[in-house]
Amino acid sequence: MKGSTSTAGYRSVGAGAAGSAIILTAACTGLWAGVTGSGGDTEPVTIEITPADGTGDVRSNVPITVGAANGTITDVRVEQAGGGPDEDIPARVGTEAEAVAEAGDGDDYAMTGVLDKAKTEWVSDWNLVPGADVVVTATGINADGAETEVVSRFTTEPADKGKRLGLESNFPSSGQTVGVGMPVIVNFDAPVENKEQVENSIEVTSEKATQGAWNWFGDQMAVFRPEEYWEPDQKVSVNMRLAGVEASPGVVGTENRRLDFQVGREQITTVDDGAHEMTVQRSGKTVKTFPISNGRADTERYTTTNGVHLTMEKYEHLVMDSSTVGIPAGSAEAYRLDVNWAVRFSNSGEFAHAAPWNGNVGSANSSHGCTNMATDDAKWFHDETLMGDPYIVEGTDRELEVDNGWGFWQRSWDEWLENSPTGEPDSTDDTGTPGSVHAA
């Protein structure tokens, strides 16, 4: 591993946590224990590291602690090697596309910790890589300035095959530019029982700081949403420090992942069901109005859902088959249509799309629930839409469910917090997550 210089800094992890934090970094210099500095009658500082030197099969979700007596702690460094998803390759971190660096390399995945105000106790922020060889080097000084360095070498318990938490998918993807309503959606490949510990292992930071929180939809999907729409034109990063977190009894994460995306311009679309009109605004100013035809509303199935949607995906050409929304082929209401310039805004079969066959566009609602548009208008909307743009439908009596597509803005901020396992907002200003990632 590359050698690097340890750096002192400040970081608060957990509600109400305070004090200075020392950045833990990988080090390739010689590791030794001894006393240096000026002479004097003062006893040397005594440093104790837990887990102790020589310990084997340490659980990856217990914290490293360093304590000092007869002095204060000045530096803590951690090196992790080996481990990871397969025992015969180094533990790695990186983007969802490719693992690019050994664990501990780079600022994003350097181990950090909190030092108390007296500078006599340090506790690590994050979990350890399973199946790794770990070296902790701690330094302290006594009142005379004499320095002591102590080293603890130990190993962490490996993650059993078949009991490893990984990612099934995430939205958005790294490098994407998205709308101001876009949440962070993480789908895991195994059920999560310890939801607080897992969500506290995922740190969301944005260039224009705000606060957000996680909600869970089932045991495998976590969703982070800010209190209000993201401010436009900024970068958002998601550091998923999943290595070592215990998702469920015996099931642990093995890799860290990073996701970076860009929030684009603010575009908010409002569809007035009664007026048969779509209004597209950029930064609060109307840039387009289009005549539309919504669901005919003679049944709930054919009523366009009301509320705050997000645009999810788009197609230049799409075959819309009624059998995918529960209307079997051969039934009286069955349909199979070739449509162009389609933008999805729910999981119940709703798209905004071109419908040149609909003579009621602008005058009446006669679709199966989609927003029908003239071809040129639908193409403009398709071309100018980003994933995560708010798409608000007003005036129907079928309310959008929070879990229908990305209906997450249907919950008020208070309701969103009530449904968060931590119950606390999470700041995106790089000050840490609300609670602990370690075992209870």
Name the residues annotated as catalytic. Answer: 353, 370
The strand pairing partners of 351, in sequence order, are: 344
Helix (H, G, I), strand (E, B) or coil at 408: helix
**Cβ–Cβ under 8 Å, residues 103 and 133:** no
- CB neighbour list of residue 401: distance below 8 Å, 6 or more residues apart: 305, 407, 410
Token duo for residue 350: 């709703």
Strands 351-354, 336-344: pairing kind? antiparallel
Q: If we measure between CA atoms, which residue out of 136, 117, 131 comes closest to residue 24?
A: 136
- Omega before 51 cis (within 30°)? yes
**Cβ–Cβ under 8 Å, residues 202 and 183:** no
> What's the CA gap between 420 and 425, in Å, rounded?
9
Helix (H, G, I), strand (E, B) or coil at 220: coil
Strand spans (E) along 230-274: 234-240, 246-248, 251-253, 256-263, 267-272
Q: If we measure between CA atoms, which residue out of 305, 399, 383 comes closest to residue 342?
A: 383
- Where is 195: in which H helix or E strand? helix 195-199
The strand pairing partners of 339, in sequence order, are: 318
Number of H helices, E strands in the chain: 3, 33
**Cβ–Cβ under 8 Å, residues 271 and 394:** yes
